[in-house]
């Protein structure tokens, strides 16, 4: 009887662990958090943006022993099976955000995020992830309180890290120089979105004070959108992008 009771207790503990893992998504092994991440590399994406995102995340992982991020690339998203075992989806820079809609189904992405997973958008991926691109199109809406303004500018720009950005992205307060490749200026269309950083004026364009990075919730999931490129080769911010992935996981 005692041996049988011990087996029941051990089975209960095992089931509890499985339930906790399924609830919180990313797996925790000892002091290390394992995150399964997919980077979209299908039509509309730019190969260099995909490769830079992967390289930046790998650099982050090599610098942080508390997290292990496994990366795979995915060329289309048509059903939830395409995102099986994925904790975080990263939609990278591309030609136009709306091109993603034909190859990465909006209903699937919304279900994925709302069920407790994470979405990271960079440039075109942010246009695709917001609620609406003003004057252009309705987007996935996994950042349901964020509207995007289309910006036409390529070059370096300055952003100011907000206090919330310090907490979420693990970055120090102050001004950062970042690569900007026509990424959106963003604003909150209603209460709910949290500004992580703002533009300090985009050269020749403006938008000072508009959000350059933003956090929003969709259902049980989290979304972080970047207007500029944290994964650019010059300058590159591995902690900025890596901490974003870790946060939404």
Judged against a pLDDT cut of 70, whether residue 16 lies above it is answered with: no
Neighbour-count burial of 172, counting CB atoms closer than 10 A to its CB (0-12 exposed, 13-18 middle, 19+ buried): exposed
Neighbour-count burial of 39, counting CB atoms closer than 10 A to its CB (0-12 exposed, 13-18 middle, 19+ buried): buried
Rounded Cα distance between 197 and 210, Å, is 9
Q: Are strands 185-188 and 143-149 parallel, antiparallel or unpaired?
A: antiparallel
Rounded Cα distance between 115 and 219, Å, is 7
Judged against a pLDDT cut of 50, whether residue 162 lies above it is answered with: yes
Rounded Cα distance between 95 and 139, Å, is 15
Judged against a pLDDT cut of 70, whether residue 13 lies above it is answered with: no
What local confidence, expressed as pLDDT, does residue 189 receive?
78
Mean pLDDT of 8-21: 40
Neighbour-count burial of 145, counting CB atoms closer than 10 A to its CB (0-12 exposed, 13-18 middle, 19+ buried): buried
pTM of the model: 0.87
Can you read off the two tokens belonging to residue 195?
């500004």
CA torsion 68-70-71-76 (nearest 10°) is -130
Rounded Cα distance between 246 and 26, Å, is 9
Quickly tell me which residue has 């980077």 as its tokens.
39
Domains of the chain: 33-248 (3.40.50.880)
Residue 52 near residue 232 (C-beta atoms within 8 A): yes
What local confidence, expressed as pLDDT, does residue 6 receive?
40
Q: Which of 181, 186, 193 is nearest to 228 (CA)?
A: 181
Judged against a pLDDT cut of 90, whether residue 20 lies above it is answered with: no
Neighbour-count burial of 5, counting CB atoms closer than 10 A to its CB (0-12 exposed, 13-18 middle, 19+ buried): exposed
What local confidence, expressed as pLDDT, does residue 202 receive?
78
Q: What is the length of the chain?
A: 249
Backbone angles phi, psi at 134, to 5 degrees: -50, 125
Neighbour-count burial of 97, counting CB atoms closer than 10 A to its CB (0-12 exposed, 13-18 middle, 19+ buried): buried
Rounded Cα distance between 89 and 109, Å, is 9
Tell me which of 1-15, 24-38, 79-93 is least confident.
Answer: 1-15
């Amino acid at each position: 009887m005692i041996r049988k009771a011990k087996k029941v207790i051990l089975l209960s503990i095992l089931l509890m662990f499985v339930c906790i893992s399924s609830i919180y998504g990313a797996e925790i092994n000892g002091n290390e958090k394992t995150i399964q991440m997919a980077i979209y590399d299908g039509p509309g994406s730019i190969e260099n943006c995909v490769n830079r995102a992967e390289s930046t995340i790998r650099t982050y992982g090599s610098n942080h022993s508390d997290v292990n991020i496994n990366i795979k690339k995915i060329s289309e998203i048509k059903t939830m099976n395409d995102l099986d075992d994925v904790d975080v989806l990263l939609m990278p820079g591309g030609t136009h955000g709306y091109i993603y809609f034909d190859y990465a189904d909006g209903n699937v992405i919304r279900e994925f995020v709302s069920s407790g997973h994470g979405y990271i958008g960079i440039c075109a991926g942010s246009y695709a992830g917001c609620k609406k691109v003003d004057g252009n199109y309705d987007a996935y809406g996994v950042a349901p309180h964020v509207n995007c303004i289309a910006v036409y500018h390529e070059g370096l720009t300055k952003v100011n890290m907000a206090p919330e950005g310090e907490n979420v992205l693990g970055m120090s307060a102050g001004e950062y120089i970042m690569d900007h490749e026509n990424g959106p200026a963003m604003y909150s269309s209603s209460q709910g979105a949290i500004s992580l950083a703002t533009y300090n004026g985009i050269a020749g364009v403006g938008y000072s004070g508009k959000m350059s990075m933003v956090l929003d919730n969709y259902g049980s999931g989290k979304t972080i959108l970047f207007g500029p490129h944290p994964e650019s080769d010059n300058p590159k911010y591995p902690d900025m992008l890596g901490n974003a992935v870790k946060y939404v996981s």
